[in-house]
Amino acid sequence: MSIDHLLNTAADMKRPVASYGDMGGVEYTLTTFSGSHMCRISSSVPAEISAGPTEYAEATAVVYVHAGTEFQRDDEVHHGDTVYKVLGVREPSVQNHHVSLICKVTSDGV
């Protein structure tokens, strides 16, 4: 059974790659590892977060993609002006069917 008919948009998949300076500092550069990757983005209700005296709402989303491309925590899904930062990767119960990327929603430049 294929999920091709459910994948309704394309996004750029990016990964932070470390480079080390002469003084031992680390800089991360985002590198596209899959451009125009077909996916389905499903937003969920924002969660209320309390961190000490600070309270805020954090939006999350699930991005569904075909199995076969390796995703990892801290990868980013760039769809228009919205960036989805991957918090975790969930494999389905049906082998080689699809992968669910659990993401935090941010705006470009935030």
Q: How confident is the model at residue 109 (pLDDT cuts 50, 70, 90)?
A: very low
- What predicted TM-score, i.e. pTM, was given to this entire model? 0.79
CA atoms within 13 A on the CB side of 64: 16
Residue range 30-84, pLDDT digits in tens? 999 999 999 999 977 667 767 778 776 677 899 999 888 899 999 999 999 899 9
Query: What total of structural domains would you count in the chain?
Result: 1
- CATH code for the domain of 15: 2.40.10.370
Q: How far apart are CA 75 and CA 37, in angstroms?
A: 13
* Structural domain containing residue 41: 4-107
Residue range 16-34, pLDDT digits in tens? 998 887 787 888 899 999 9
CB of 46 within 8 A of CB of 58?
yes
